[in-house]
Chains A and B, each alone.
Chain A
Amino acid sequence: MRRIALVGQPNAGKSTLFNALVGYRAVASNFPGTTVELLRGKGLVGGRPVEIVDLPGTYSLLAGDRAEQVARDFLTSGEVDAVVNVVDASLLGRSLELTLELAELGLPLVVCLNMMDEAQHKGISIDSDALAELLGVPVVETVAARGIGLKRLLSAIPQARPARPPRYSADVERAISRVEAAVESVTEASGLPPRYVAIRLLSGDPPPKSLARIGLSGEMKAAREELARARGEDPALVLSAERHAAALRLFERVAKVGHARVGWRERADDLLMHPLLAYPLLALILFALFWIVFRVGGILEGLLLPPLEGLSQGLASLAGGGLFSQLLVGAFQGLWAGVAIVLPYLVPFLFLLALLEDVGYLPRVGYLMDALMHRIGLHGKSVIPFLLGYGCSVPAVLATRILEDERDRLVTAALAVMVPCAGRAIVVFGLVGRYLGPGWALFLYLLNLVVIGVAGWVLKRVFPGAGPGLILEIPPYRLPALRTLLGKVWLRLKDFVVVAWPLLVGTSALFALIEALGWTGPLNAGARVLTWPLGIPAQAGVPLVFGILRKELSLVMLTQAFGTADLSLALSQGQMLVFAGFVLFYMPCLATQAALGRELGWKRTALVLLFTTGIALLVGLLLRGVAALI
């Protein structure tokens, strides 16, 4: 089967295109760095099945962070039959630099000018026929988010061919030829063009894996040194500047820049990024988010809870009192809780999160938080794992790959798993939001930020070292299509339905079994080490333990443990606050632990688990103090 790779700079719309070609599979967002590993899907090209691979966004094929290396290693592995270069047409000049690198790589290429609507908005008109002529490859215009141009793209893929590589200044060409002559004999077997290998080595990058044993001969070193001396700059920067100039020349031949329309999207930053107004507006937007989730969730819950509760009671009276019927009722309660308690808050939360992501506000939150992050010894790209963490901790942990430094990855991962994911959001909304009001839910989120800040400050003392400064692309505001928003909500919800529901049903049945066997007492007694200092009832112990499987379970099993959906009968408001606060921080769920283990190794994962549980206990005690005041 032929394999086609989608390659492009971050935020060019690769994942959106991927979803449009293979069906909803990848989370696509309006911020750079959402995809950190290869995503594979099947599609049809010319009636024949092909494998389509979505690569992490990469600015350049020169070594960058780990996500970029994944993209480059895959492209040079010899496993790719054709490349679709996804280009943000509104940033054509800059994007062509990667296109020219792909031309040097020599793989069959199709250029996909995506976001043509954005380009028009900016007043850029592109002669794609001229571009196709100059590059010698098919060029297709698309608006992937609205499904425009996809058929033309698919029919262009079989016409993919290697593009014409650019020519550089005479001194650079001389240096390239010298290295090329030195490597020519070894590159043949790898199938990589000698010119590409020469440019890569000249830039000071390690050779491709298939040529790992290639040594830097004296001739290569001499060529590098001569170029560096003549230009007074690192050869990597010389080549980058040369390629930039070539891209600009190409851009000027195929595009005209007219008057850009200036609308709300350009003006919004004047307010939202205003040095003084930005922070009150951020607080306002967050509060609006909480208020809407709380109101919509409350309405949905009011509609779903009574009929399901009636059904559950009916089932209990029908089934009688045997062990089997108790199990059945337990399982049904799990299912019922998954529908009536979890979904009402989860759906609006996921929808609003997707909206903030796709409009492009989330990276701006990262920008606004950088001053704070800087103080806690983390900056730069660490914001992306943090922002992803509000959806789910697993992608947040994976996203730490975009950080270059080992120490940054550990600290960022340890802190990012404390960002409340959607599962913990359910506990906050379903317990604190519902019984204490959205203001208290917001309070917990803000407290969470402060605690992460303090924890970061502590970790900075333990693991000294400054990460590289912030250099982050801030994407333009975009009006997302409802279809893509719903697709994203569905994608995240699917994970919940497929993974969490069976778990809810299974553990609820298990819980019923434990109860029937009379084991809850000893288990709760064991968990008393946690529940006693926190000042919450012993029955809350088992739900806390089961929360390690999946955070929403803590809330769902709470209703089961107390035998009522109205938790205000069983817990005081203060106890609810303490319970939710503890759940926010203690041990990440199993799936996250697995991701941590993979990314950091098990020893460090164990450290993270101890660290977060310690913090959770401290926060719980602190909240107990707060609760005594209300």
Chain B
Amino acid sequence: MNLDLQELPLPSLPAGTAGRVSRIHGGRGMALRLARLGVRPGAVVRLVSSGPFSGPLLVEVEGLRVALGRGVARRILVRPLP
């Protein structure tokens, strides 16, 4: 079974659904900045809304709402949760 097939970049998650973070592509700085807000491998992230004009994404993680720029969100890989 190849689980990687189910991995999606965060912006591809349908709005209103949740996914579990599997990997974060990015330097130490970005990974740490995300970890501070609870976005880290293993965390469950729900996509609340994604802004138009390739604007940022609004996600909810551990009860907190976080705005993520597109560029950042694309480097976060998630596995969709049912």
Chain A residues at the B interface, C-beta cutoff of 8 Å: 59-60, 62, 64, 90-91, 93-94, 122, 204, 234, 236-237, 240-241, 244, 269-270, 273-276, 278-279, 363, 366-368, 370-372, 374, 379-380, 404, 468-476
- Bound-state CA distance A470–B76 (Å) is 13
Q: How many A-B residue pairs have CB under 8 A?
A: 119
Pick the contact of A269: B34, B36, B40, B49 (CB < 8 A): B49
Tell me whether A93 and B36 are in contact in the complex, defined as CB-CB below 8 angstroms, given that A269-B49, A371-B54, A470-B69 are known contacts: no
- CB-CB under 8 A from B66, the residues of chain A are 471-474
Binary interface profile of B, 34-73, with partner A (CB < 8 Å = 1, else 0)? 1111101100000011111111101000111111111110
- CB-CB under 8 A from B30, the residues of chain A are 468-469, 471
- CB-CB under 8 A from B40, the residues of chain A are 237, 240-241, 244
B37 touches A234 (CB 8 A): no
B58 touches A240 (CB 8 A): no
- CB-CB under 8 A from B56, the residues of chain A are 367, 370-371, 470
Number of interface residues of B (CB under 8 A): 34
- CB-CB under 8 A from B64, the residues of chain A are 91, 94, 473
- Bound-state CA distance A404–B29 (Å) is 11
- CB-CB under 8 A from B34, the residues of chain A are 471
A sample of 10 inter-chain contacts (CB < 8 A) reads A236-B28, A244-B38, A270-B49, A275-B49, A367-B56, A368-B51, A371-B56, A372-B53, A471-B33, A472-B66
Pick the contact of B65: A59, A241, A269, A374 (CB < 8 A): A269
- CB-CB under 8 A from A274, the residues of chain B are 49
Taking the closest CB of chain B, its distance from the CB of A280, in whole angstroms, is 12
A94 touches B38 (CB 8 A): yes
- Bound-state CA distance A234–B31 (Å) is 10
Pick the contact of B36: A64, A278, A470 (CB < 8 A): A64
Pick the contact of A473: B37, B50, B52, B55 (CB < 8 A): B37
A367 touches B36 (CB 8 A): no
In the complex, B32 has a CB within 8 A of chain A? yes
B32 touches A471 (CB 8 A): no
- Bound-state CA distance A162–B28 (Å) is 31
- CB-CB under 8 A from B29, the residues of chain A are 404, 468
- CB-CB under 8 A from B41, the residues of chain A are 241
Task: Given A94-B38, A241-B40, output 19 extra A-B contacts at Cβ < 8 Å.
Answer: A90-B63, A94-B63, A236-B28, A236-B32, A237-B31, A240-B36, A269-B48, A273-B48, A275-B51, A275-B52, A366-B67, A370-B56, A379-B69, A469-B70, A471-B30, A471-B37, A471-B72, A473-B65, A474-B67
